[in-house]
Structure 1
């Protein structure tokens, strides 16, 4: 028999060798006298371990690099959390070059004996009150604009609509830069264009599609304003759902003893909060129709609001590409639906308009945005159920 050892193919390049397997380049071979498998891992992720403020941050960083509980068992630990605790305890930190054996320095640093203790709770409460007020402003602006539109005519009505649109856009921009809807990481400017396109279609797309199917448009098509008002009012519950998800997920992360345990708790939490937001948005849309005496379709409003919430959650937690993709797909389907009806008027292109025409005749024009936004929302929900149930999605971004 040959004494030659067959190399082990590993999906984690750079990890130290384990008993019975050959050492990887740059790491000591345990069969040649190295009895500390964690030392090589500490060297590999030294920057992460030195900058981490708690073991959870290290655990999230390791998970982002593909290290699972099974891998942690190869390092003589029951799970990634236990491995992260050892790495945190052994990592040197501080500016005086203290040895790691002296123990970790608290993340917030020592409090001077003669200095006041900072009131973190009071500051957090003040910030919560501030962004709560901010998230109520879009709904207030939208309601006031709609009331003024019903009381005005002619040029005054046009000026009111433009002023209300600009004010609403400004208030929404402020809301997205404060509180739980704030995204500190990379954002895609194109995502904003898709959002405005979806909102524009919600405002007047159904009327345009009805006109196109019947041979028009022969003049200005009708617009429905209550769906936009409902979405503006839904900014506040969306912010609170995002806040609850972030707080509960981090709390569950601190209480979990393994990645599988955290995932098993985070995924139902996400689904429950999305379901809560759907219920609140449905109630707001029905109330807006009742108060302003309009017959706005509920399904397009609810599906678009759900799509926007999921896209923002993914962006906040560091996945802007997936969010922009979902928004772009929904907007493209809506635009192509109208374009296909127009293209069907060309000689020999009648079949292009058949699918959209059949859908409108069977379920009404509101079925098109419902199907477009609903399908995109389901796709983002599936993606979020996977990505947002990882520990790495609930810590600060790591550059390791």
Structure 2
């Protein structure tokens, strides 16, 4: 245990094998002698900061899990699971004055008009940009497209500043840049790739406005699905009596929230494709929507490393596909475009974003089923609206 500037003990991670340090066996010094008699008291001293700031036993249980305490550790402390151990620690901290006075147990934040209204902003801005593109031609259309790209990029930033998908100080600049690139590719990538394979582009090329508009409109169902998942997971955390039981009960919630979002996105893709008389791009835009939602869910819960890598990987694949087609025009370099040509000839230009974003979404889905099913991922309610 280390001592911080305020003189309080800071807990070190506790693992199943740390029996010599968790108070189950005697150690040297006063704390060790006290731990040999009362191992729970020793554990409370090791995690004193956690006990001080906890507002309910669930937060202590989640914090213990984050530090490596499992149900096996709790069994050695004569408790059936981590939740039971956390309840005793919470009660004893309040009784012994180890923690500050509680102000009540907060529940999960409910749907509020503030973030619910903000979630509609990207769809509104996207619709305005599409209308502008449809009403202009030539140079004014290019200006509208450039300005519209900036407007659409700012939409999610405004929409997710609050609510269940907010990521305060967690999203890196690189992740934002790759996200903008992926959305930009959804707008211009397929058309540019097809034009490049035909020796162009000669002038302008077709823009895929329907998929981008659908993705903008899908920000609202994404926020609601994330809220639904966080709310139901918090309730399961209150009802569960073990970490494995909690993980098993939350995993279907995660998959259900993702399936609900994908259903809404597919419906929006079909609607926008029909309204704008464009291909809906179910594969490419659907894979991108799943990738962006999973990345946001993980980042909102503090797991930002893998989402950043997945976004960068998908964007790099799309950029490489475009670059290889243009590089194949150099003398003796025609072989560079062979993989992309074979893929596009077999299944169309939309296969490139579908495979790139689909692979990234699959990686994030595996990561989400491992991390978002932990109690520590739901220790705190979603940021208040």
TM-score, normalised by the number of residues in structure 1: 0.84
Q: Which residue does 1:222 correspond to in 2?
A: 206
Q: Which residue does 1:263 correspond to in 2?
A: 247
Q: Which runs of 5 or more residues in structure 2 are unaligned? A: 1-14
Q: Which residue does 2:62 correspond to in 1?
A: 60
Q: Kindly report the root-mean-square deviation, in angstroms, between the aligned alpha carbons of the 2 structures.
A: 2.6
C-alpha distance in 2, partners of 1:280/1:24?
A: 61
Match of 2:71 among 57, 69, 72: 69
For the Cα contact (< 8 Å) 1:297–1:366, is it kept in 2?
yes
Pair 1:148–1:185, CA change in 2 (3 A): closer
Bigger CA radius of gyration: 1
Q: Which residue does 2:283 correspond to in 1?
A: 299
Pair 1:347–1:240, CA change in 2 (3 A): same
C-alpha distance in 2, partners of 1:14/1:307?
A: 44
Task: Please give the per-residue CA displacement for 1:71-128, whole angstroms capped at 9, x wherever unaligned.
Answer: 1101111000111111111225xxxxx8349x9843339xxxxxxxxxx99xx66x71
For the Cα contact (< 8 Å) 2:163–2:223, is it kept in 1?
yes
Match of 1:16 among 11, 22, 30: 22
Q: What stretches of structure 1 move > 6 A for 4+ residues in a row?
A: none
C-alpha distance in 1, partners of 2:198/2:28?
A: 70
Pair 1:376–1:248, CA change in 2 (3 A): same
Pair 1:339–1:99, CA change in 2 (3 A): same
Q: Which runs of 5 or more residues in structure 1 are unaligned? A: 1-8, 93-97, 110-119
Three-state SS of the structure 2 residue aligned to 1:91 is helix
C-alpha distance in 1, partners of 2:277/2:163?
A: 33
Tell me by how many angstroms 1:130 deviates: 1.9
For residues 84-163 of structure 1, the aligned pairs below 5 Å read 84-91=86-93, 99-100=96-97, 105-108=101-104, 128-163=112-147
For the Cα contact (< 8 Å) 1:237–1:280, is it kept in 2?
yes
Q: Which residue does 1:167 correspond to in 2?
A: 151
For the Cα contact (< 8 Å) 2:16–2:70, is it kept in 1?
no
For the Cα contact (< 8 Å) 1:12–1:67, is it kept in 2?
no
For residues 1-400 of structure 1, the aligned pairs below 5 Å read 11-12=17-18, 15-18=21-24, 23=27, 28=32, 34-91=36-93, 99-100=96-97, 105-108=101-104, 128-184=112-168, 186-396=170-380
Pair 1:10–1:294, CA change in 2 (3 A): closer
C-alpha distance in 2, partners of 1:202/1:329?
A: 16
Task: Please give the per-residue CA displacement for 1:28-62, whole angstroms capped at 9, x wherever unaligned.
Answer: 269xx932111211111111111111111111111
